[in-house]
Chains A and B, each alone.
Chain A
Amino acid sequence: MKSSPNSTISVSVTVNGTNRSADASPRTLLSDFLRDRLGLKGTNVGCEHGYCGACTVIVDGQTVRSCLILAPSVDGSDITTVEGLASNGDLSPLQRAFQQAHGLQCGFCTPGFLMTASELLENTHGTLSEEEIRSAISGNICRCTGYVHIVDAIRAASEERTS
């Protein structure tokens, strides 16, 4: 059934473990759907053409650029955003590692890095090497930190889970 340009489509997703539903137009980007329709402002928008990684979220277990997804196409999906990392207001081990290592400055790119780092930690074991980390985060741009402390943070988080 075709939805006309001016129509609204009901999009239902599970976000951070909760079922959520809201209307979108056919052209509503997932980044805007999360931020404006679902009120989850933590995902930042840096470029809207898929290059900077600030808008990275996890859909059905994989990191994606939410600015490159039309909301209706992920109807029924399971989504994790940065708001899903802390529990009961307490920073997760990964978030704490970022704070301890000074892995953020202005914070705008940080949610995207956290999601990318979460996936990296999920898919690997043991302490990660500098090369592995830099390769995994090469699609996330940070303009403030020069990456050194971000690498330190992710390495520390990978060490912590081993011990």
Chain B
Amino acid sequence: MTPNQPRLVGARVARVEDPRFLKGEARYIANIVLAEMRHARFVRSPLAHARITNVDTSDVPDGVAVFTGDDWAEHGIECTSRYEGFQPATMPILAVGKVRYVGEPIAMVVADDPYLAEDAAEAVMVDYDPLPALTTVDDALADDAPLIHEHWDSNLYVPRAYASPDYDEETADTLSISARLSHSRHSGVPMEGRAVLAEFTAGRFKVHTATQIPHLIRTAVATAIGLPERDVQIVSPDVGGGFGVKAQAYPEEVACALAARALKVPVKWIEDRREHFLASHHSREHTHQASLHYTEDGTVRGLTAELYVDMGAYSVFPWTSTMDTGMAMGILPGPYRFTGYKVDGFPTCTNKTPYGAYRGVSRPAACFTIERLVDWMARDRGLDRLEARRKNLVRQEDYPWTNAGDLVYDGGSLSESIDVMKEWIGYDELVESLRDDRKKGKLRGLGMAIFTEQSAHTTEEFKKRGVPIVFGYETATLRLDPTGHLTIAASIHSHGQGLETTLAQFAGETLGLPMERVKVVFGDTDQVSYGAGTFASRSAVLAGGAARIAATELRQKLTRIAAYLLEASEADLVFNENGVEVVGSPGLGVSMAELCRITYQRPDLLPEGELPTLESTKTYDAAPGTGTYTNALHMGVIEIDAGTGGIDLQKYWVVEDCGVMINPLVVEGQIHGGVAQGIGSALLEEMIYDENGQLLTTTFMDYLLPTAQDVPFIATRHLETPSPSTEGGIKGMGEGGAIAPAAVVAGAVEDALSEIGHVYVSRVPLTPERVLGHIADARRQQ
């Protein structure tokens, strides 16, 4: 029974994909059983930096297959940036000669079940010659630091630099405030770990893998193995969360494929949670040395920054290890109008797990930096924090506005969001009441952050980023079958975003089809034409756009055929749930089923020259290619327990504008989920390495994810500034929720302590111990 819902854009349609997940019938890779399937387990480096001197597999039980680095030394995953001076290093499938991070795979065993595989893996004995472990950016960039990749000149992937032409002029004669701001190393940590099930049959690989980027994985696997892409099929079925962690190519994917070919049986690998912390890519670890330059009246004139990003041991595919640094450089100026800007970026190689994408990709750290600086400027100038922001924001009349980091903001409702928020939450009264609470000794405070989210950026943007593959489009193939049912095969991947529903809402509408007649498929590279996948808040816009363009082509064709069959004028025809009808002539029409049947099975009835096909493949590269910008303002109220340093996040509000919404339920869900992850960044999540490069946080006892008692009710309000350039005026918004919470909580802590003293919160997560440190700082000022 499908939900009886309207199928319009803007409707809160319950998701059509839900039943299989609710009933426990989802097709996660762990649930796939193939005949003769065997189970893989990886032997992983226990050292952060060492030469491998011996690998002894003689104790591995008979019947268990073993593979080591030498077996696959000619294969690897490479991702080289086009930036001048980028130092490349191929990620091996199994380490050869050297290990560069704890958790790096060195060997692989394949046994009859996962229990035996784990036993067998313990029987592989590896000898190492330890090398000094470089566990911080400072260590890695020191003059005498050993080289992690010995053919390099330094441990810097590539230096980046940018300065606006007016930097000197704008920052002359200004006040300034400087700080060192940092985000911990942490990552998306989806509830389903990584998973691969590889088969090799009749010269072709079929690799099931839990990935957000099926076609790009096909490229990586085919390249690594040395085959035409035609001979590799990637199938990403149901995936239990990604958030960017599953948007890189991993050696385990290639390893399982090679093992399946060597052993002639399907090989399955299900990552366990410990492995996930060690070997699924990390993110977020930025340290910014930044200064804000402003005038006495609180007008921001310029920003100077050095960005240090700890990218771990290898460059990741398909982003290269320049992604976070480059993106941070562009967005660091935030939604503000100032133009003076000088920034240097240092994506650094260290002996840690490689660093990949995670929701927001550098923007959480960038938003934290600029919003903290603006808060401190407001405090210094005695301005209300919201008005200090408003004064400096890009205004309606400025659009399209090229920011100081050369990003083109195409529209938004920044100042308007402040007005809406103030009225909605009763800002002035709230500020007063918090002040009263503080005078009575409570440590309660309000924090805020305003930002934009670049979304659906395509060719022009990715060209600038120097990535070897420019993710310039997504692809949709629409196919109507002889019974009038539509399949949309899209190059994206839905793993929580509800695209099976929203794409059907967005594109099905063009053909007047009710939801039950539209099916969205994705994930199988044999079924779907080439595209990039789901990341960077782009799927609804780009796959939706491509689908809508393809639907429009089909509609035009069906219009011609229907007009011919009904002997009506094309202009008089309307598409609705009855099929195609003639306006003003009730009863005169043809059902979609009949129209499709005729097209395929009665070509004799078709107009001259009309082909008996109902299929259209289109790509969409949303103009102008530099992205369409969502904006949001977040606010939160916290209370600190002075005895423990614990923070109670009591209230959280979001005013956001993502243009035209396809499905408000889905939009809210994305905001809530993003905010929850941002709360994790603000309060809980931290991957902690010791000085030897050992990762100390490898279980959920040590790495803390927010629970239902850590995340408050998140109230949301929507504004709607349609994108000026995308199909349907929609914008991407999946990442935004995660961008602001760290800045919000930090600001709230400072506000909460403001009765006692002025503190500068420049580091997250705000663990209880760190909060007590801030309280002590505040008290020292009394």
Contacts and interface: CB of A to CB of B under 8 A. Distances in A.
- Given a CB threshold of 8 Å, the question of whether A touches B is answered with yes
Contact of A147 (B18, B25, B497, B711): B711
Interface stretch (A7-15, A71-79, A101-109, A118-126): A101-109
A49 B273 contact: yes
A143 B124 CA distance: 35
Interface in A34-84: 35, 40-49, 51-52, 54, 81-83
Interface string B692-727: 000000011100010111010110000000000000
Interface string B4-47: 00000000001100111111111010110000000000000000
Contacts of B14: 99-100, 102
Contacts of B26: 42, 107-108
Nearest to B13: A102
B146 interface: no
Interface in B256-273: 272-273
A46 B114 CA distance: 15
Nearest to B714: A148
A52 B497 CA distance: 21
A30 interface: no
B672 A145 contact: yes
Contacts of A40: 24
Interface of A: 25, 27-28, 32, 35, 40-49, 51-52, 54, 81-83, 85-86, 89-91, 95, 98-100, 102, 104-111, 114, 130, 133-135, 137-151
Contacts of A108: 26, 28, 190-192, 240-241
B247 interface: no
A105 B709 contact: no
A144 B241 contact: yes
A42 B24 contact: yes
B700 A49 contact: yes
Given A95-B23, A104-B21, A149-B669, A137 B496 contact: no
Contact of B24 (A27, A83, A146, A150): A83
Given A51-B699, A108-B28, A143 B498 contact: no
Given A43-B24, A143-B705, A147-B711, 8 more contacts: A41-B31, A44-B28, A54-B191, A99-B15, A108-B190, A137-B708, A142-B676, A144-B673
A136 B25 CA distance: 25
B188 interface: yes
Contact of B191 (A25, A99, A106, A147): A106
A150 B15 CA distance: 14
Contacts of A25: 115
A156 to B, nearest CB: 12
B21 A110 contact: yes
Contact of A143 (B1, B191, B238, B272): B191
B495 interface: yes
B677 interface: yes
Contacts of B671: 146
Contacts of B672: 145-149
A130 B712 CA distance: 10
A107 B28 CA distance: 10
A148 B22 contact: no
Given A99-B19, A105-B497, A134-B709, A143 B700 contact: no
B15 A146 contact: no
For the complex of A and B, list the 6 residue pairs with the smallest distance between their C-beta atoms, beginning with the closest: A42-B24, A107-B21, A108-B240, A146-B672, A105-B496, A146-B676
Interface string B670-689: 01111111000000000000
A76 B708 CA distance: 34
B243 interface: yes
Contacts of A150: 708
Given A90-B1, A91-B19, A110-B21, A52 B669 contact: no
A96 B410 CA distance: 40
A38 B125 CA distance: 35
B216 interface: no
A146 B711 contact: yes
Contact of A111 (B24, B190, B273): B24
